[in-house]
Amino acid sequence: MLRILHSLPRTHKLLLLPVATMVTVLGAQKIVTTYQDVQREHRTLDTVIVPLEVDASPGLPSFSFQRSPLGDAIDIASQALDATRQHMPLANLVDEEAFEIELIDSASASADGDLPLALTRPATGQSEAELAEASPIDTYLDQGAVHMAVVVGTIGSGMLDLDGTLMADNATSYEPVPDEELGLFEGGPVILEQEIAANKSYVPEWQTYEVKQGDTFAVMAQNRLGMGYSEIMRLLDQLPDKAVLARWRAGDSFDYQLDEDGNLLAMRMMRNARDGFLVERADSGFEVATIERTGEASQRLFAGTVSGSFTRSAQATGLSSAEISELSRVLGKKLDFRRDTRRGDRFQVLVESDIIDGSSFDPRVIAVNYAGERLDLTLVRNDADNNFYTPDGESLDPAFNRYPFEGSYRLSSNFNPRRKHPVTGRVSPHRGTDFAMPIGTPIVAPADGRVEKVANHPTAGRYILVRHDNGYQTRYLHLSRPLVSRGDRVTMGERIALSGNTGRSTGPHLHYEVLVNSSQVNAMTVSLPENKSLSGDKLVAFRRQAEPLLATLQSGNTGTVVASRRSDDEG
């Protein structure tokens, strides 16, 4: 019945609500009374037993068995309602069973245990005086009837299928439970919004301050950061770089946090896009930590042609001063820029740097190729040791032999800076090592290098000065004949002169000197570089790393060529 009411317009619902209510309640009363009659001999009137179907599910009684007259009455009432909605005459309805229907004007019930139901007959055919004297007909419904009415109403509203399954979509309850029994008002009412506001903790937020013209940190810190003058001075003393706060420029900015009282909690300031400082308040004052942001490695290829000086030619490609300085240091171990460079020589430089917020940091040369008239050289930086090697793994710092000759010769005079002259007795330092050998004995270069000087001297006789790739210098005195010229490139083991007895000499011998930072050292004890060329697994790893870099050099495509370099364990 409630399902029928639910499908009607609102106006029809209001008109038919009393009818639907009484049909449901009286129908339930009829069902209960019938079963009470059946059980009267064995049960009291307070007990009602409604037999269930064999296959019925537990819970509320099932109404899937054969329809009772109540069901037929509900169907007829439904047809009547549909006829009313479609404006059809009741005469068109099919007669299946005769019922006596008595209409009422209103119905009411109290909340007492026996639920007295007051029915008022319609006023049709009665005068106003008769209607005033008419009294309601009071009928008391059994509690079982009330329960069955609720069940029928539940089924009618669609909340319960005919098999007793509860429909969750429209499920509800009608029995109120006092709030006191649920403990909602124990200790007074609770208003959730007020509780949240009362327990909300303070969370400091980062704010940004932009420096304006004429700003000073001391004044700004007192006005905005809640700092006293002594605190400001202590903070400036703790900063590794005071210029970050002491030398402001309009447009600079920094971030800060304040506590609930408006006092400084933390401050973050950057010297540039990469480096900065973080200041945090501690129990004993302020703690200062450094900030270093990491960027994304980016590579750029520069290509140029020598025209005039090498430095100006490199600048014309767009290389920075720092990049040109490193490039000169790397190539300088093999290339004499004053003597070996020629107009038209070509070079390519692959530079890697860290990109942070569009700015470049830490530029470093990672590969270079120089194709010149006097020198053709390709070098690649090795990530494993940060040194440069040829594509074959040959080092720029090869081994350095201890002796500048082949064979074995007697050491006739040691290195001795406090040696005394045998005639005068005065200190006459001997800053080299003498080897007695016949005139014309071949002298060889102990390491790769370049001849810096070939000359004659009254005391030293004929001599040669060589600068080696590792930065050391060697000098050879009392020679009979030089075999190289100034500016020549020499390699380890190459013949450079023949020994002799020129200058002031007491007999044929070679005076040999090693200079470190332009100062003579003992050639027999000085630390000399060993062979640093790569081999084995190190060489394999280096070649794998160098392969894409060499391909980039050969491509000749200048500008940003790759986003980042692959690591050794890739590929």
Q: Which two tokens stand for residue 78?
A: 């439904």
Kindly report the number of other CB atoms within 10 A of residue 554's CB atom. Answer: 11
How much is the pLDDT for 163? 53
Residue located via tokens 């317009």: 9
User: Measured between alpha carbons, how far is 103 from 81 in angstroms, rounded to an integer?
Assistant: 15
Name the 3-class secondary structure at 161.
coil
Bridge partners for 266 per DSSP: 257, 280
DSSP bridge pairs for 166: 160
Q: Which domains, ranges and CATH numbers included, belong to the chain?
A: 2-170 (no CATH), 207-292 (3.10.450.350), 297-397+532-571 (3.10.450.350), 410-521 (2.70.70.10)
> What pLDDT does 305 receive?
93
> Which structure tokens are listed for 136?
């309601």
| 493, 444 Cβ separation under 8 angstroms | yes
The answer to whether 331 touches 291, Cβ cutoff 8 Å, is no
Nearest partner of 148 among 257, 298, 48, 230, judged by Cα? 48
Residues 6+ apart with CB under 8 A from 385: none
Which amino acid, one-letter code, is at 341?
T
Round to whole Å and give the CA distance between 304 and 327: 13
Give the span between the Cα atoms of 263 and 341, in whole angstroms.
64
Cα–Cα distance for residue pair 497/488, rounded to 1 Å: 13
Per-residue pLDDT of the chain (571 residues; tens, 9 = 90+): 555 555 656 555 555 555 555 555 555 555 545 545 545 555 554 444 545 455 555 444 444 444 444 445 445 555 555 554 554 554 554 544 444 445 455 555 554 544 444 444 554 555 555 555 554 444 455 566 666 666 666 555 555 554 555 554 555 555 665 655 555 555 555 555 555 555 568 888 999 999 888 888 888 888 888 988 888 888 888 888 888 887 888 888 889 999 988 899 999 988 877 788 899 988 888 888 888 877 777 888 999 999 888 989 999 998 888 889 888 888 887 887 877 888 999 999 999 888 777 677 778 899 999 998 888 899 999 988 888 999 999 887 778 999 999 988 999 999 998 888 776 778 888 899 999 999 999 999 999 899 999 999 999 999 999 999 888 999 999 999 999 999 898 988 999 999 999 998 889 999 999 999 989 999 999 988 777 788 899 999 999 999 999 998 888 776 665 444 443 333 3
The model carries a pTM of 0.45
At 496 the pLDDT is: 97
| Cα–Cα dist 525/514, whole Å | 10
Q: Are 318 and 301 in contact (CB under 8 A)?
A: no
With beta carbons less than 8 A apart as the criterion, state whether 74 and 27 touch. yes
Quickly tell me which residue has 């720092």 as its tokens.
Answer: 322
Tell me the two tokens of residue 21: 């209510």
Element housing 559 (H / E): strand 559-562
| Residue 295: predicted pLDDT | 73
Distance CA 541, CA 531 (A): 18
**Cα dihedral: 105, 111, 114, 117 (round 10):** 0
Q: How many Å apart are CA 126 and CA 369, to the nearest integer?
A: 122
CB 107 within 8 A of CB 119: yes
Q: Find the DSSP H helices in 48-138.
A: 69-85, 128-133
In 86-228, where does DSSP find H-type helix?
128-133, 143-156, 192-199, 217-224
d(CA 220, CA 523): 64
**383 CB-contact burial (10 Å; exposed 0-12 / middle 13-18 / buried 19+):** middle
